[in-house]
Amino acid sequence: WWWCPFGPMSLMSAVWRAGRRACPVVRAGGPGLVRSAASQAAQVPSEPSAQAPGYMLLKGFSKFANLADVHRYLSRAKDLAAEDYSVHPILDKRLFPTSIYLLKLRQKSLIKSVRGIDYRSYGCSNISSFFVTEERAKDILDQSSPLMLLEGKSSDPKSCPTERITPDSRTLRLCFVPPSYGYDEIEYFFRDFQLDDPGIVRLAQGGTRKDKGYFVRFKTTAEAHRALQTLIRDHMETSPVHFVQYK
């Protein structure tokens, strides 16, 4: 029965050959392997281009530093021109200034230039830089550009238009404004200064009874400095005026 064409061994051989034909073995370098590698490569996302914008955080500056100091520091980077980047001061959750700056580079390849700065030659020992993703950078910018109420744009305070505004060197924040003070009273307090349009804005969210989050925006940085020097000893009713200066 071993040699019978319909015996058990012949039947097992036929089943084995049928299985080989249904599932062929792909040898190294064969077309099946090429197709498999191509399909896997198509599933792997491509790496971001070096020409895409890059974002970095700069930390370690003095609390007295301003944008001019940051630009002076970045001028020490090789192959980095002034038009290759922009600097954005970062505010904390209460919208007060910090010593951290967000750096937006024209392309990711410039990150090496920033990391190559010898911060010790700048006179500092703790300036550091960190790469951040575009999504994280957008979240940081949104936090530093809060939604403001444009009270002077509407006669009805309940229907005030809103706008995202970033406090900058032309901006002073008023702290501990008396509860009886509103838009008209603050506008009269700064009547001798040239204000931007809108000149007086208020936080849409996050204000408290003691700090409603009023911001005064001037035409120029010099005008903001003049107001700070002139009014720093003045009072609103019986309360001394407290300013926060943005650099």
pLDDT tens string 70-94:
999 999 898 899 999 999 999 988 8
Q: Is residue 153 domain-shared with residue 240, that is, in the same domain?
A: yes
Q: Is residue 163 domain-shared with residue 131, that is, in the same domain?
A: no
Half-sphere exposure of 111 (CA within 13 A, CB side): 18
Residue 18 domain-assigned? no
| Structure tokens, 69 | 């100091």
Print the domain residue range for 99: 54-144
Asked if pLDDT for residue 8 goes beyond 80, the answer is no
Collapsing DSSP to helix, strand or coil, 114 comes out as: helix
Residue 21 domain-assigned? no
Average pLDDT over residues 128-132: 90
- CA–CA gap between residue 115 and residue 130 (Å, rounded): 9
The DSSP annotation for 65-104 comes to --HHHHHHHHTTSTT--GGGEEEEEEE-TT--EEEEEEEE
Q: Higher pLDDT residue, 83 or 25?
A: 83
Which of 117, 139, 143, 112 has its CA nearest to residue 128?
117
Residue 100 domain-assigned? yes
Pick the last residue of a domain from 144, 161, 180. Answer: 144
Residue 125 domain-assigned? yes
Q: Is residue 87 domain-shared with residue 152, that is, in the same domain?
A: no
- CA–CA gap between residue 113 and residue 103 (Å, rounded): 13
pLDDT tens string 147-184:
888 877 766 666 788 888 889 899 999 988 888 888 88
Average pLDDT over residues 196-212: 78
Average pLDDT over residues 115-119: 82
Give the pLDDT confidence score for residue 127 in this predicted structure: 86
Give the pLDDT confidence score for residue 120 in this predicted structure: 67
The domain tally of the chain equals: 2
How many contiguous H segments (helices) and E segments (strands) does the chain have? 7, 12
Q: Is residue 125 domain-shared with residue 212, that is, in the same domain?
A: no
The pTM for the full model equals: 0.68
Pick the last residue of a domain from 129, 144, 159. Answer: 144
Task: Tell me the range of 19-33, 138-152, 197-211 where mean pLDDT is highest.
Answer: 138-152
Q: Per-residue confidence at 46, pLDDT binned at 50, 70, 90?
A: very low
Q: CB-based contacts of 61: which residues, under 8 Å, 6+ apart? A: 69, 70, 73, 99, 100, 101, 124, 127
Q: Per-residue confidence at 188, pLDDT binned at 50, 70, 90?
A: very high
